[in-house]
Structure 1
């Protein structure tokens, strides 16, 4: 993909440097102002100055007439002429191309707006942006609703400054009326300078629904037998998002008692290729549906193949990293959604090859930890350093002997009762001489990138330098990966802090891939004159460079699909309008992912590249993907370790041409230290 920026993007960048958004102070001090289109230089205007309901809204030369003087209310409405006439989406439509008009104020969501620091004006009801149709600039040009894309016909300026204070945290999150398929979730109201316009309800970082700012309880659809953590954020008329409420854990009961086990799997066969065995079997049947198969090797469970309530699990399994010329006995059990287990299948024996001819040759456990290993780097002497996310310290591990020592505790780290804490680590190629260790972590107020000297295997906390602060934090979506590029620059992935508007705002540090000089200054060739390298990301946690110096990125989707991206300088990857290939991903200016994954098979965090093969570590998918980089495509995709080691968090190149691989099986959705049981593995790769 070319790195040259399009003219509209250059204009958007310039506009972003000067844009300030219309926001009203509290109702007692309401202020009016014009709203000026960046692309046209003309003002938002009521056609002909008419005051009748359904009069279209257009752009016209700016003046002092009342038809161009708008007021933002504490409820997120834009009024004109008087307090009873509102900017309105015709017919309460949520479709692109819907007309914008004036209409008597009625409190509807089609009359409420969020005004954002990137210059966009979004409809609370549809999430679409106020847009000058066809990018026209002439007087009388129509104003419509359109998919947000960052172009200058969707950017608006005013003399007033943006309101920056987020709402207070919603209090007393609680549930009632829990059944097998629904629950009522409630909370106490937040407060805000300009008024709360919406509450966003999540489970475990995934957005479930949004409700109006006057709604304090809602009914949610849940899944029987599945444990979720529910929480809520408040959003104000300026697009600011609160920190998350406390988490309420629920496990809905089953809708009906089921004691019938699935039928026994039959036809289990296996074939060896080098030190890898591929198993196949005939699907089991069940009265409510088979949800998983557990695979046993020599009587010990070594993997699980999972499905969903609507998609049955696959009937194949790949077992890798085995010993050569060795016979292994395999059997399979089936499970349904209520945990009923079939009889174990008949055993089948498979003998591996004399030598490794497989992609994965062997796996060795080199360490364990009671906390979550998150960032990991290899030092010049072959030992590794890894961060413990919730314990907030850094450990040195000798992979040959398994000996561990604590290097030190990182100061000023704070958890988020979710995904924040002590996150990514990186060292520059100059580490042998300068001893700088780069760290990304959550503080009590933000996410930040710092560096420390490491001397005599100890963290010198007095040497700390804060390179970049002010990256918004939240319970989930904190990003956190660091990676030095072949250009000597430091790259960092940041989440959207549970506010998709951040991802499209090139003046924000969130929902981005950032690029820094090693001393924390902005590189002179960054595309927007700040730290932003690419944008439109939801929660990226994987960064890796290939042999051509190209940057690949791994990103969590919401509930549909995750994605692997090839990062282009200044590129827009579409979130929140686009999730993987779902949504308005065909919009001009959005860069499509190179591969997507259903979230049940994905939730992938770390990536590594060895000999131009991409390895992707997945949590919910409990597997390691191997994908060959061919040109700009990912080909010959294979999945390894499905269910063998549980949730996989971090994968990094090892100095012998293999991989370091860490698990994240328990305690990864809280900030409680030492409540995990994790493994650090070395994977020997084949050809």
Structure 2
């Protein structure tokens, strides 16, 4: 007998009549046969990994000759039914064909019934993450497997500590070396995931405390690292390391002056165009000025300026800029006069209030006032748009930021609010998790003593907290939850992360939810926008790693993350996986990173952060058509859009200065009223 370090697992002889679920241990490494990252996605590779006894290492050898895992939901499978050496071994839904049948031999080899080849650790390597393939049976040590009993307790739910000591060396304009100090874990750290501002840069094994980064010249990044153990638990993020990437060459020459500025007016919308500027390195964009005030930025040769005052003359000029911030003089002035009335879909935009914090969630009340949450200041504000008066209703207790996207997030009120109960519903980050609470709104204040925690245990992290709340026409509360930077949890319907959740107003799961719990849909990365159309259908806006998406949510639907992002395949069979629900529209991150959506009539409005614009599209059946962009660069980063009581829009901004920290009142943001064409 032998013992696997840390678990005290005793080996037993391989036998068809062994215990129903067991571990399969590779002889040379004493590591277990494992399905990568615990993913149940079809075609997820098999690997060897430190034995932790979780469900993705538990194997049942059936009377039919199958090796089943995930409580029998997946079978060990030879990819593409190949009979050739080096064929990849994976997990796949069980179908009973020969490439999922195995014979266990007395010499501890496991032989494919289809090819006669042996289950083999690739290259005889012993490190964590080594893949499994097929090879002619030669009785080699790395072809020998021992069954071992599953330890009595394999429910490892303790996450590693955050990594520390991040440092940069060998910095150039294109590359750098990132190092950090090891995290600790009750069982053992398995991987480190490297991020910049919420975007994944890569993953390394726990034996590696360094990563080579490919950089973008001139970029400003916030780098951090998460630790992950073999059971799939992810640490909170390390402290962020700011990185300013140098330019590859010094450039002090400004672009040439834009020429040929021309334009036209339709009602209260002006459309501009101009000729391209030149530069010694390259023009990266153009700044548009109205009456000497910059109102927008664009990388194209045109700009649409919406929401002008009627019968008013405006003076426009344009300047060009390059990647190093050199700006040309402004070109010639163009004078345009707006029409008598609005002829476009957006008629005007006006600031109703300024803010020093980030207005995140917003709810319009029947009396025309609005309530909004301040993410980092952690209080709820009542705004009277007629007078501009702001009144703090009180601070939500137990809120904690994440030095990123966490804090006091979405709010929602049920139909009829304020009513006899006066419940205000809130999504927030706590010191341990994300949670949904409700608190009574009494005499213009929050009755904090009435606060009830409806749902807790939603995964939190520096980024990917989700946070939007919306009541549906069915009277149920819908909540968007991020994956907490733990992608596989988005595919696990037992987890609350990476989901759209559906709750009764009292916090219980509705009886008609698809999986008998709170989960309404799954496979989401970082959903934030939620809106219902006139047909009662739920639309959702989701941050992607490189591609954002607008989804039409269906009961029980799987939206693919982390194996499919938008229309980009990432793992397994990716977006081609049967059953995945495809997005209705996708966007490049640089033109999107959208947080809030609203539906007015048959139009869907999407507010975007990195894209600094408002998208408008029309809902036609189950499609989005006539997609247009407004306010490109005019108001900076747009966080939230919500319908107003009078059939228009509320819109809030999220200035970059304080958008990635948890410091209250360190930003300059706006709350705007957008008037739509009747």
The TM-score normalised by the length of structure 1 is 0.82
Q: Is 1:131 aligned to residue 77 of structure 2?
A: no
SS of the equivalent of 1:585 reads helix
Could you say what the CA RMSD is over the residues aligned between the two structures, in angstroms? 3.2
Structure 1 residue aligned with 2:375, among 389, 407, 421? 389
Q: Give yes or no for the alignment of 1:232 onto 2:225.
A: yes
Residue 476 of structure 2 is aligned to residue 489 of structure 1: yes
- Aligned residue for 2:9? 31
1:348 — aligned with what?
Answer: 334
Residue equivalent to 1:679: 670
Alignment of 1:310-321 (within 5 A): 313-321=299-307
Change (3 A) 1:507 1:380: same
Decide whether the 8 Å contact of 1:114 with 1:122 is kept in 2.
no
Contact 2:44 2:92 in 1 (8 A): no
Counterpart residue number, 1:187: 180
Give yes or no for contact 1:511–1:536 (8 Å, CA) kept in 2.
yes
Cα shift at 1:135: 2.8
Distance in 2 (CA, whole Å) between partners of 1:340 and 1:100 is: 52
Instruction: From 538, 546, 551, give the equivalent of 2:525.
Output: 538
User: What secondary structure does 1:266 align onto?
Assistant: coil
Q: Distance in 2 between matches of 1:383 and 1:89?
A: 53
Kept in 2, the 8 Å contact 1:164–1:240? The answer is yes
2:597 maps to what in 1? 607
Within the candidate set 234, 242, 246, 2:235 is matched to 242
CA drift at 1:385: 0.6
C-alpha distance in 1, partners of 2:532/2:3?
Answer: 47
Q: Are 2:621 and 1:626 aligned? A: no
Alignment partner, residue 510 of structure 1: 497
1:398 to 1:118, Cα distance in 2 relative to 1, 3 A: farther
Aligned twin of 1:651: 641
Aligned partners of 1:295 and 1:331 also within 8 Å: yes
Q: Show structure 2 runs of 5+ residues with no match.
A: 59-68, 80-87, 103-111, 114-118, 120-130, 133-148
Match of 2:269 in 1: 276
> Which secondary structure state, in structure 2, belongs to the residue aligned with residue 431 of structure 1?
coil
Question: Aligned to 1:432, what secondary structure does the other structure show?
Answer: coil
CA distance in 1, matches of 2:177, 2:640: 36
Kept in 2: contact 1:118–1:505 (CA 8 A): no
Q: Is the contact made by 1:70 and 1:80 (CA closer than 8 Å) also made in structure 2?
A: no
Residue 466 of structure 2 is aligned to residue 479 of structure 1: yes
Cα deviation digits, residues 629-669 of structure 1 (max 9, x gap)? 00000011110000000000000001111100000013111
Q: Offset of 1:62 from its aligned partner? A: 5.0
2:454 counterpart residue number:
467
Whole-angstrom distance in 2 between the partners of 1:322 and 1:657:
19
Return closer, same or farther for 1:464/1:528 CA change in 2, 3 Å cut-off: same
In structure 1, distance between residues paired with 2:479 and 2:518: 10
Measure the CA separation in 1 of the matches of 2:89 and 2:516.
25
Change in Cα spacing, 1:578 to 1:100, as seen in structure 2 (3 Å) is closer
What residue in structure 2 maps to residue 12 of structure 1?
Answer: none
Q: Deviations over 1:81-138 (max 9, x none)?
A: 6755864999xxxx9969869xxx8x89xxx997699768999xx9x99414763277
Q: CA deviation at 1:378?
A: 1.2
Q: Does 1:441 align with 2:428?
A: yes
Distance 2:194 2:578 in 1: 30
Query: Does 1:581 pair with 2:567?
Result: yes
Distance in 1 (CA, whole Å) between partners of 2:351 and 2:35 is 59
| Match in the other structure for 1:257 | 250
Identify the match of residue 511 of structure 2 among 524, 527, 530: 524
How far has the Cα of 1:250 moved from its partner? 0.8
Does 1:432 pair with 2:418?
yes
Distance 2:481 2:530 in 1: 11
Q: How many residues align?
A: 601
Does the CA contact (< 8 Å) of 2:42 and 2:92 recur in 1? Answer: no
- Do the aligned partners of residues 122 and 658 (structure 1) sit closer, same or farther apart at CA in structure 2, a change above 3 Å counting? farther
Residue 17 of structure 2 is matched in structure 1 by 63
Please point out which of 161, 164, 176 is paired with 1:171: 164
Structure 1 position 364, deviation (Å): 1.3
| Structure 1 residue aligned with 2:101 | 140
Report how far residue 287 of structure 1 moved.
Answer: 2.1
Does residue 287 of structure 1 match 2:280? yes
Counterpart residue number, 1:79: 25
Cα separation, partners in 2 of 1:129 and 1:332, compared to 1, 3 Å = farther
Contact kept in structure 1, 2:34 and 2:57, CA below 8 Å: no
Task: Supply the distance in 2 between the matched residues of 1:678 and 1:25 (Cα, whole angstroms).
Answer: 60
Alignment check: 8 A CA contact 1:390 1:672 kept:
yes
Report matched runs for 1:70-109 at 5 Å. Answer: 71=23, 79-80=25-26, 84=30, 87=33
1:315 positional shift: 1.0
Taking the aligned partners of 2:658 and 2:326, their CA distance within structure 1 comes to: 26
Question: SS state of the match for residue 683, structure 1?
Answer: strand
TM-score (norm 2): 0.83
Task: Tell me, in whole angstroms, the C-alpha distance in 1 between the residues paired with 2:250 and 2:275.
Answer: 27
User: Residues 100 and 354 of structure 1: is their aligned pair in 2 closer, same or farther, counting only changes over 3 Å?
Assistant: closer
How much has 1:452 moved relative to structure 2? 0.4
Q: Matches of 1:654 and 1:668 in 2, distance apart? A: 25
Distance change in 2, residues 1:440/1:26 (3 Å): farther
Q: How does 1:542-557 map to 2 (within 5 A)?
A: 542-557=529-544
Label 1:332 to 1:520 Cα distance change in 2 as closer, same or farther (>3 A). same
CA contact (8 A) 1:167 1:193 kept: yes
Q: 1:32: Cα distance to partner?
A: 5.8
